[in-house]
Amino acid sequence: MQDFFQNLSQQFETFFTQFPVVFQSLNVGFLQTLKLFCTTLLGALPLGLVISFGSMSKMKVVNKITRLFVWIVRGSPLMLQLLIIYYFPGLVWHKPIWGGGEDGRFLAATVSFIINYACYFSEIFRGGIQSIPIGQYEAGQVLGLTKTQTFFRVVLLQVIKRIVPPMSNEIITLVKDTSLARIIALQEIIWAGQAFMKGSHGISGAIWPMFFTMVYYLFASGILTVLLGRLEKKLDFFKV
Partner 1 sequence: MAILEVRNLHKSFGKHEVLKGISFSLEKGNVLSIIGSSGSGKTTLLRCITFLETATSGKILVDGDAIFDGESTVKPNAKMRREKQLNFGLVFQQFNLFPQYNVLNNVTLAPRLRAKEREDYKQNKKQILAEIDAKARTLLEKMGLSDKLDFYPCQLSGGQQQRVSIARAMALEPKILFFDEPTSALDPELTGEILKVIRELADEHMTMVIVTHEMTFAKEVSDYIVFMDGGVIAEEGAAKELIEHPKTERLQAFLSKISD
Q: How far is the CB of 240 from partner 1 (least distance, A)?
A: 5
- Sign (positive/negative) of CA torsion 158, 130, 127, 74? negative
Given the rule CB under 8 A, which residues bind partner 1?
Answer: 133, 135-136, 138-139, 141-147, 149, 153-154, 157-158, 161, 237-240
**Cβ nearer to partner 1, comparing 95 with 239:** 239
DSSP character at residue 200: B
Q: How far is the CB of 125 from partner 1 (least distance, A)?
A: 18
Q: How far is the CB of 131 from partner 1 (least distance, A)?
A: 13
Q: How far is the CB of 232 from partner 1 (least distance, A)?
A: 14
**Cβ nearer to partner 1, comparing 161 with 182:** 161
Q: Is 156 helix (H, G, I), strand (E, B) or coil?
A: helix
Question: 81-120 burial, b for 16+ CB within 10 Å, e for fewer?
Answer: bbbebbeeeeeeeeeeebeeeeebbbbbbbbbbbbbbbbb
**Cβ nearer to partner 1, comparing 135 with 205:** 135
**Cβ nearer to partner 1, comparing 5 with 238:** 238
Say how far residue 50 (Cα) sits from the centre of its chain: 18
- Sign (positive/negative) of CA torsion 46, 47, 50, 56? negative
Angle at 153 between CA 151 and CA 154, to 5 degrees: 70
**Cβ nearer to partner 1, comparing 27 with 146:** 146
Q: How many CB atoms lie within 10 A of CB 163?
A: 19
Q: How far is the CB of 141 from partner 1 (least distance, A)?
A: 7
**Cβ nearer to partner 1, comparing 44 with 159:** 159
Whole-angstrom distance, CA of residue 228 vs CA of residue 222: 10
Q: How far is the CB of 68 from partner 1 (least distance, A)?
A: 28
Whole-angstrom distance, CA of residue 84 vs CA of residue 108: 10
